[in-house]
A = this chain, B = another copy of it.
């Protein structure tokens, strides 16, 4: 919730041709014309600090973003302060698609680490759909994938036990981070607090803490200050009774 300036990093802008995400195995490749368009679609870059609130529920955002670097999450808050974290954001993820298509955002977005974002002009979306159908397809694909993740999470929150829930979420985040390159330097760590975990899974911080102890005692994870190290991903997945989710080469913009 800290308020800090955001830095406009348009100067040292990453060229789409050199996009670090493109190098990852997980993403599909653009054709040259697509690449050219995406490059023009991109308006600039933005660097934000840790703990910055990027978008607020109810706002009407003029932009669409892609995460280039860093972690974030999106969430809703009830009147009395109860918070539900809906999903996390890692490199390659879109921010604000709902807001770009509908009237307004129905959730807020906050950063967990310093982030770098690509900024796209919402106004150019019609052109994208008109002239680059494959990119339009990709956008639908990404929305469908977000839906899939929500399906898995909803199933966990609704029907799994505390231990299973936590194991599920950590396994999911581990896998997403691996694929997106979010763990490049820092080996297998996830930058969240126990409070975030609790608010994602519909449980209290206290009980979350006690459950983490159990997972740690089983050598599945190790908890650090504001971060979680995954020691045994297979063990986590079987503790969660979860088989993972996969979906071939993903697009990104």
Q: Which one of A137, A201, A247 has the greatest number of beta carbons of chain B within 10 Å? A: A137
Question: A86-143: which have CB < 8 Å to B?
Answer: 86, 97-98, 101-103, 106-107, 125-126, 129-130, 133-134, 136-137, 139-141, 143
Q: Is A55 an interface residue (CB 8 A)?
A: no
Distance in Å: Cβ of A86 to nearest Cβ of chain B: 5
A129 touches B139 (CB 8 A): no
Name the residue of chain B whose CB is nearest to the CB of A158. Answer: B202
Residues A40-71 near B (CB distance < 8 A): none
Closest approach, in angstroms, between the C-beta of A224 and any C-beta of chain B?
25
Asked if A241 is an interface residue, CB under 8 A from chain B, the answer is yes
Nearest CB of chain B from residue A149's CB, rounded to whole Å = 9
Q: How far is the CA of A143 from the CA of B78 in the complex (A)?
A: 24
Q: Does A18 contact B (CB under 8 A)?
A: no
Chain A interface helix/strand/loop/mixed: helix
For the complex, is A15 an interface residue (Cβ under 8 Å from B)?
no
Name which residue of chain B comes closest to A164, CB basis: B78
- Cβ contact of A101, chosen from B101, B144, B151, B201, cutoff 8 A: B144
Q: For the complex formed, measure the closest distance between the CB of A134 and the CB atoms of chain B, giving whole angstroms.
A: 7
Q: A155-B84, A158-B157, A202-B157 are in contact. Are A136 and B140 (CB under 8 A)?
A: yes
Question: Which residues of A164-181 are within 8 A (CB) of B?
Answer: none
Q: Which residue of A140, A199, A248 has the most chain B CB atoms within 10 A of its CB atom?
A: A140
Measured in the bound complex, the distance between the Cα atoms of B97 and A146 in whole Å is 13
